[in-house]
Chain A
Amino acid sequence: MSNDDILLQVEDLTTSFRIDEQFYPANDHINLDVYENEIVAIVGESGCGKSAFGHSIMGMHHQEQTKISGKIHFKGADLLSYSNTQLNKVRGKEISMIFQDPLTALNPLMIVGKQIEEGMKYHTKLSKNKRKQKAIEILNEVKIPQPERVYSQYPHELSGGMRQRIVIAIAIACEPSLIIADEPTTALDVTIQARIIDLLKELKRRMKTSIILITHDLGVVSEMADRIAVMYAGEFVEIGEVKRFLKNPLHPYSKSLLYSLPSKNNQGEKLHVIKGVVPSLNHLQRQGCRFKPRMNGTDDSIHEETPTLREVEKGHWVRCTCYKHFQIENSHQVVEEEKDDVFQGQ
């Protein structure tokens, strides 16, 4: 991959949310390149800032509750400098979004065909009839049986899997070059999840679209993504190719996440547990390695004072030096008294 293939370049992006009259960064000076025709997964636990990242690219945040700085280069322009009207020309046409819950993501009072067409109304000069024709084509494309019939159905008349196909159809209606998929399979049953994964991969191959896949599920990442960026407490801690990452994760957080999953290999054994909880935005310690408080028995000398994301092998980036000294212990730690972890509700 060369620099010419970069589709989206996020540079020093900081997104802060207002909590009690103060702004706290949910994304803290992050950088990421998204290449053409790739699926890059943003992975982390709830509250790590991965959804905020997707919303920042689309300019979806509430303006008064959010502060954004940095640059988001996309096709020769900085999206962050765009006005809302300018962004409306990008949203849906160049970049679109797939949401987690297909039931709530669709307007219950509008037939699905109209919801698919709506974007075309603002982004193309197609006539009403042409739009309908195109919508039916897209329904076909996302493999909906009897597209003409489904066109005039309401969301509640469709099953969960069908609804998610509609949400995908809306996202691809204007053939965008980037799709941000925010937990696209989390609300679905496993067999449907498998089919939606296959569908997204196929669409990506055929339409040459790039996808930013936001998820907490490493299984989905493994099935779908080319590259992975692991996010912890508002920062990327590790970025690399999925294949290499899954065989050899480096950052302590990445390792811990992977080993906490039940799999064929650790059957009957205790699962790895990360001590403590994800810190909330307004109680996060922002100096030094943010993962330090959750590592067992490590001394401060292994961490950098101001950790940076460093390329340790080609295309594989890791934050902080502590990864060199971290081993997953096979024996699981007994759940201990958690005095300090009482979570201050956000």
Chain B
Amino acid sequence: MWKFVVRRILIMIPQLVVLSILVFILAKVMPGDALSGLVETPGVDSSTIEDMRTTLGINDPVHVQYLNWIKGLSQGDLGTSYIHQRPVLELLEARLWNTVYLSAAILFLTYLIAIPLGITAGRFHDSLIDKLIVGYNYITYATPLFIFALLMLFVFGFQLQWFPTGGSADINLEPGTFSYYMDKIYHLLLPALSGALLATVGTIQYLRNEIIDTKMKDFIKTAKSKGVPEAKIYSHHILRNSFLPIAAFLGYEITGLITGSIFLESIFSYPGIGQLFLQSISQRDFSVVTALVMVTGVATLIGTLLSDIILSLVDPRIRVE
């Protein structure tokens, strides 16, 4: 097992190098730089800007700039945000955690809704209840997130006023106190629920199909021929086999959520990295954008590794060496 993990981490190194080069090139080919905006600012002449460029290293040869950037990255220095005038790392920290909370909440709620529905639909497939669940699936599949989220915000946030309409916590509360954490959860609920209700599609469909498939397998017949009661056949034989692909998908799901929360965070004005990403693009805050792309890239790689590890843990046929 450890050999497998070490090997996978070693493989990640070239992947990261390629990713960083791509991100760096993309950032470089964008027109202008953080100082372009200063041109023709009263009191700043062009030679001052050139001097600043030289001190900031922008005039160095490209490969030197790249190496400096990588050096910074490896020391945890993601650069400085021009717009916010703060180190990117500092900027990211709080928001990254907010996004992680939101993603975890979405994932939790998704499974809370999807697993019982998927099992019910699979077990009683072709019955009325199955048709209702599949119907729900079609509707959520066809609903665009940004419209659904706006609707949820409008109905539950503004009309019924059950939930707050923005932010991640009340600023008047002392961080670290119990009521602060409760308030954080309170702020999370509406965006998480909006995301989860639409995210259930994949899990329900997967689980339903897997259960229907597994039901037909020969080893289920073997179990039945042993005299195992139906409820036990489900709990001992069908469910574990049907959960395999879902467990395996968990890693990808996590990265998908982290990168996919852009809409949710903007609509609910929730201060996470998705919202930051959109802001930074529109404000041409490229050091933040490149840092975010790097972070999500790393998260994706870790997610796939996680998926492989989970799969090898739950499926004895895949024993990685």
Which residues of A76-93 have CB atoms within 8 Å of chain B's CB atoms?
Answer: 84-85, 87-93
Identify which of B227, B230, B244 gathers the most chain A CB atoms within 10 Å of its CB: B227
Nearest CB on A from B242, distance (A): 11
Residues of B within 8 A of A115 (CB): 222
A154 contacts B225, CB within 8 Å?
A: no
Which residues of B153-178 have CB atoms within 8 Å of chain A's CB atoms?
Answer: none
9 A-B pairs with CB atoms under 8 Å apart are: A89-B227, A91-B225, A97-B221, A105-B222, A106-B219, A107-B241, A154-B317, A156-B317, A173-B226
A118 contacts B228, CB within 8 Å?
A: yes
Identify which of B222, B229, B230, B232 gathers the most chain A CB atoms within 10 Å of its CB: B222
Residues of B within 8 A of A122 (CB): 226-229, 232
Q: How far is the CA of A118 from the CA of B229 in the complex (A)?
A: 11
Residues of A within 8 A of B217 (CB): 104
Asked if A109 CB lies within 8 Å of chain B CBs, one says yes
Given pairs A109-B240, A118-B223, A156-B316, 17 additional interface contacts (CB within 8 A): A84-B230, A89-B227, A92-B227, A93-B227, A105-B218, A105-B222, A107-B237, A108-B219, A108-B315, A108-B316, A109-B314, A115-B222, A119-B226, A119-B228, A156-B317, A170-B222, A173-B226
Q: How far is the CA of A118 from the CA of B219 in the complex (A)?
A: 13
Nearest CB on A from B58, distance (A): 57
Residues of A within 8 A of B316 (CB): 108-109, 154, 156
Residues of B within 8 A of A167 (CB): 222
Which residues of B2-22 have CB atoms within 8 Å of chain A's CB atoms?
Answer: none
A106 contacts B229, CB within 8 Å?
A: no
Nearest CB on B from A72, distance (A): 15
Residues of B within 8 A of A281 (CB): none
Which residues of B209-249 have CB atoms within 8 Å of chain A's CB atoms?
Answer: 217-219, 221-230, 232, 236-237, 240-241, 244
Residues of B within 8 A of A110 (CB): 236-237
Residues of B within 8 A of A96 (CB): 225-226
Q: How far is the CA of A147 from the CA of B316 in the complex (A)?
A: 20
Q: How far is the CA of A261 from the CA of B314 in the complex (A)?
A: 47
Which residues of B181-232 have CB atoms within 8 Å of chain A's CB atoms?
Answer: 217-219, 221-230, 232
Q: How far is the CA of A96 from the CA of B221 in the complex (A)?
A: 11
Nearest CB on B from A79, distance (A): 13
Asked if A101 CB lies within 8 Å of chain B CBs, one says yes
Q: Lowest 10 CB-CB distances: which A-B pairs, in order?
A: A92-B227, A92-B226, A119-B226, A91-B227, A104-B218, A97-B225, A107-B219, A154-B316, A88-B227, A105-B218
A residues in contact (CB < 8 Å) with B:
58, 60, 84-85, 87-93, 96-97, 99, 101, 104-110, 115, 118-119, 122-123, 154, 156, 167, 170-171, 173
Q: How far is the CA of A18 from the CA of B211 in the complex (A)?
A: 23
Residues of B within 8 A of A109 (CB): 240-241, 244, 314-316
Residues of A within 8 A of B224 (CB): 58, 60, 91
Residues of B within 8 A of A91 (CB): 224-227
Nearest CB on B from A106, distance (A): 6
Closest to A104 in B: B218
Residues of B within 8 A of A119 (CB): 226-228
B223 contacts A107, CB within 8 Å?
A: yes
Q: How far is the CA of A84 from the CA of B225 in the complex (A)?
A: 12
Nearest CB on B from A197, distance (A): 21
Nearest CB on B from A333, distance (A): 38
Given contacts A99-B218, A170-B222, contact A88 B317 (CB under 8 A): no
A106 contacts B226, CB within 8 Å?
A: no
Q: How far is the CA of A60 from the CA of B241 in the complex (A)?
A: 21
Nearest CB on A from B127, distance (A): 10
Nearest CB on A from B310, distance (A): 14
Nearest CB on A from B174, distance (A): 49
Nearest CB on B from A97, distance (A): 4
Closest to B241 in A: A109
Residues of A within 8 A of B237 (CB): 107, 110
Q: How far is the CA of A105 from the CA of B221 in the complex (A)?
A: 8
Residues of A within 8 A of B222 (CB): 97, 99, 105-107, 115, 167, 170
Provide the B286-321 mask, 1 if CB < 8 A to any CB of A, else 0.
Answer: 000000000000000000000000000011110000
B225 contacts A58, CB within 8 Å?
A: yes
Closest to B219 in A: A107
Residues of B within 8 A of A118 (CB): 223, 226, 228, 236
Q: How far is the CA of A244 from the CA of B302 in the complex (A)?
A: 70
Closest to A88 in B: B227
Q: How far is the CA of A342 from the CA of B30 in the complex (A)?
A: 67
B218 contacts A101, CB within 8 Å?
A: yes
Given contacts A101-B218, A107-B219, contact A88 B228 (CB under 8 A): yes
Residues of B within 8 A of A171 (CB): 225
Q: How far is the CA of A60 from the CA of B229 in the complex (A)?
A: 13
Residues of B within 8 A of A85 (CB): 229
Q: How far is the CA of A89 from the CA of B244 in the complex (A)?
A: 31
Q: How far is the CA of A269 from the CA of B237 in the complex (A)?
A: 51
Nearest CB on B from A238, distance (A): 28
